[in-house]
Amino acid sequence: MSKSGNQKRNEIAVVVPTGFEPGAPAAMGAHESPVVGVGPVALPTYLDRRSIVMREADSEVRLSSAHRWAEPLKDGVARVVAENLAVMIPTDAALVYPWRSPRVVTYRVTLEIFRFDGTLGGPVVLNVRWRLVDKDGNELALRTVTLDEQRPMRHTRPSWPRTAACLPR
């Protein structure tokens, strides 16, 4: 600890669900509701790390030594997508890859993230390809989506954790 009290604080961020209100209960019985599996999630190497990545320029990124993800980013993304899908569908069975359930996964959502970063105090960009596959391996949907989001910040000074909080949910 520094005598002057200027010790840098490490800050930890997590990816959080969107805050959807729970939907109406599924009309099907509990064993008939779809079992949705999320994963695997693929990340580019520059994002597959604990440090939060910030974009400096189109071809330049910076890793924060003081700001990290609380869990591997691919695990957090899969968990949050599963939580959101469980509320939106609704289903009582949204599993994260690898599945640890005796139930058969009815639908599987895979994600390939190409970009997930932002500039300090600026917009955060998520570019992801998602694929929906049924239990027989048939591809039902394939989409690439780019979200560019700027959340209003109530703070006067931009910071790593505030920017991480803007990451699209």
Q: What is the CATH number of the domain that holds 103?
A: 3.40.50.10610
Is 90 domain-assigned? yes
How many domains in the chain?
1
* pLDDT above 50 for 163: no
Give per-residue pLDDT as tens, 53-63.
999 888 899 99
Is 59 domain-assigned? yes
Is 53 domain-assigned? yes
Name which residue leads in pLDDT, 5 or 62: 62
Q: Where are the beta strands (DSSP E) in the chain?
A: 11-13, 35-42, 51-57, 60-69, 93-96, 107-118, 124-134, 139-149
Which range of residues forms the domain containing residue 158? 34-165
